[in-house]
Each structure stands twice: as structure tokens, then as C-alpha cells.
Amino acid sequence: MTTPTDLFDFNDRHVFVAGGSSGINLGIAEAFAARGARVAIASRSQERIDAAVAGLRRHGGEAAGWSADVRSPEAIGAALAAAHARFGAIDVLVSGAAGNFVAPALGMSPNGFKTVVDIDLNGTFNVLRLAHEFLRKPGASVINITAAQSFNPSPYQAHVCAAKAGVDMLTRTLAMEWGADGIRINSILPGPIEATEGVRRLAPNDEARRRMLARIPLGRFGALEDVANMALVLSSPLATYVTGAIVPVDGGGVLSGSRDFSASYVARP
Ligand code: NAP
Ligand code: COA
């Protein structure tokens, strides 16, 4: 029988986090590192990767990072292959690389829209598609990081709304296709998480933060640990029958519907 202390023991498990060099994704990588995992991260800036890997190693385990843009199948495929060669089959795969900026659709060039869709949606497809051969079968837990924009139309977020809705459809579709391999795929939907780049971009002033907070039933911003804890649960023996789920970790914020925090800092046409 599994005892409570066994449940979150990830000793020697291989955890690969795409977009793992900062913010929410790094918080997830750290939570697994603190529980014994070998952690691989991939993102663009080598400098940020080096800093993140040094921090991950301070938890006592092995960690490594590769510079790769998720928009490049060749680059992310090479990073996944290198991580597999070093740490073995991937037990937990997190796809969290994303880009965002606040702009009305009419202030967004076709390339601006495409850039976010390429990172968030096409990047997630690339990560999962190219990781498949390296995932532990059966047993791998795949986690896509989505956002409330997936459910709720949000002005000035056309690119993110479209991209994250697509990410959640990938979660559900690939959960069906890869269930037979014993691979589970879920999305975590974080609410606004304190001190992250996402919140800095969406709520750059006090008025926008106030609007954001007012829509969260539990009345607080999230912490990195809130999201990381759910990643641990979804990858633990507690969740072996959970796949294709979109799991909000947001204090109930997604229940509040469509949102526009930008009235205080975006000029209306
Ligand atoms: P963040 O700190 O900016 O993290 C983004 C990560 O992705 C960084 O490691 C970044 O490193 C990497 N990245 C960006 N573009 C990439 C690319 N093209 N290829 C590879 N890596 C790339 O952001 P965050 O606020 O923590 O957000 C993390 C995730 O949570 C995102 O999926 C976001 O949509 C989601 N989310 C955040 C919030 C929030 O409150 N912050 C709420 C809901 C959902 P490089 O720039 O060096 O590549
Ligand atoms: N408003 C309108 N358009 C913008 C914009 C803004 N604030 N910021 C970028 N764009 C447009 C650019 O003008 C460009 O379009 P163009 O070629 O037609 O001029 C397009 O988006 C791509 O910009 P570029 O800077 O070349 O993209 P990049 O690939 O270097 O960076 C971003 C991608 C723009 C998403 C960048 O903000 C980024 O790297 N973000 C990662 C971190 C992040 O967003 N974290 C929060 C996650 S929730």
C-alpha cells in the first residue's frame, strides 16, 4: 500500500519542463527537484537557463538545461533527445512556454497574433509531439499550462485566447490518442500568480491589480507553490485515473467570466 510519505517522492524521476527558466514553470521545476527528481529545462535565453539550473541543483539533485525555442521543432527535438540521453525516459513533461502582450486586435499585426499562437499552441504541439518517443510508457504525466483566456473571451488578448483554447483541445485530443500508451495529459489553469511576468504584463498598475483581485472568489493572488502543488498531485499515484482534465488553480477566478483588466492603461479607440 502507498503511504502518504511515498506519494510525492519523485526520486530519480525525469521531469522535463519546456519554458522552465522562470516564473510558474520554474516553480514547478523546483517543486520536483526538491522531491528528488532529475530536472531538465528548455527555453531561449542561455543566461536564464544557467541561473535556473544553478538554483535547481541547490536542491541537491541533478539538473540540466538546453537553449531551444519551442517554435523550432528541430531545436526542441534536440533538447528532448539530449535530456533523454542524460536522464532516461521522461516521467513528467510540462509544456509551459508562452508569450503575451496586451493589444487590441486592430493593434496587433498578423505577425503579432501569429507569434503568440506559434509559441503557446504550435509550441505545445511541438513539445508533446517530439517528446512522445521519449515518454515513459506506461506512466508518463504530461501537463500543459493553460490560462483563463482559454475559457473566457478577454479583450486585448485575442492571440492568447485563441492559442490557449487550442492548447486545451490538444490536452483533450491527445489524452484520447495516447491513453492506450498509458500516457496521461492534463492542463493546469493558473489564476493570476503573484510576482510573475504574466501578472506584470496584464496588471502593470494598482488599478488593474485591484480589478484582477476583485474577480477572485478566494480573494488573493496565487503563489508559485499553488500551481506546483497541483503539478505534483497530477503526477503522483493519487491521479493515475485522471486524464484530459483542465484543472483550474485560480481561487475560483475562472468562474467570474470574461475579463478586461486593461481599462486603466489601454487607450480606448
Ligand atoms: P514567464 O516567467 O515569462 O515564463 C515563460 C517561460 O517560457 C520562460 O522560461 C521563457 O524563457 C520561456 N519561453 C518564452 N518563449 C519561449 C519560446 N519561444 N521557446 C521556449 N521558451 C520560451 O511567464 P509566467 O507568467 O510564469 O507564465 C508561465 C506560464 O503560465 C505560461 O504558459 C502562461 O501562459 C501561464 N499562465 C501564467 C499566469 C500568471 O499569472 N503569470 C496565469 C495563467 C497562466 P525565455 O524567454 O528565455 O525563452
Ligand atoms: N503590441 C503589439 N504588437 C506587439 C507587441 C505589443 N506590445 N509586442 C510585440 N508585438 C509584435 C511585434 O511588433 C511583432 O510584429 P511585427 O513583426 O508585425 O512588428 C511580433 O509581435 C513579434 O515580436 P518580436 O518581438 O519579434 O517577438 P519575439 O518572438 O522576439 O518575442 C513576445 C515574443 C513578443 C511574445 C515577447 O514578449 C516574449 O518573448 N515574451 C515571453 C515572455 C512572456 O510573454 N511572458 C508572459 C507569459 S504569460
| Nearest ligand, CA 72 | 1
**pLDDT tens digit sequence for 205-228:** 999 999 999 999 999 999 999 999
pLDDT at 269 over 80: no
Q: Determine which helix (DSSP H) or strand (DSSP E) holds 64, and give its type and residue range.
A: strand 63-67
Domain, as residue range, for 254: 9-264
Q: What is the CATH number of the domain that holds 99?
A: 3.40.50.720
Check residue 259 and give its pLDDT: 76
Ligand 1 center from residue 77 Cα (angstroms): 19
Confidence at 1, pLDDT banded by 50, 70, 90: low
Which pLDDT band, with edges at 50, 70 and 90, does 61 fall under? confident
Report pLDDT digits (tens) over 121-155: 999 999 999 999 999 999 999 999 999 999 999 99
Instruction: Note whether residue 69 is domain-resident.
Output: yes
Residue 222: closest CA among 188, 185, 260: 188
123: in domain: yes
Q: Confirm whether 269 is domain-assigned.
A: no
In a domain, 29, yes or no: yes
Mean pLDDT of the chain: 96
**Placement of cell 493593434 in the chain:** 107
Examine residue 243 and state whether it is found in any structural domain, yes or no: yes
- Band of pLDDT at residue 265, cut at 50, 70 and 90: confident
Nearest bound ligand to CA 265? Answer: 2
Ligand 1 neighbourhood includes 216 CB (under 6 angstroms): no
Residues with CB under 6 A from ligand 2: 98-101, 103, 107-109, 111-112, 115-116, 197-198, 201
Q: How far apart are CA 41 and CA 23, in angstroms?
A: 13
The number of domains in the chain is: 1
Ligand 1 binding pocket includes 248 (Cβ within 6 Å): no
Measured by CA distance, the residue closest to atom 16 of ligand 1 is 97
CA 26, chain centre distance (Å) = 9
pTM above 0.95, yes or no: yes
Reported as a single tens digit per residue, the pLDDT across 22-41 is: 999 999 999 999 999 999 99
Any domain includes 163: yes
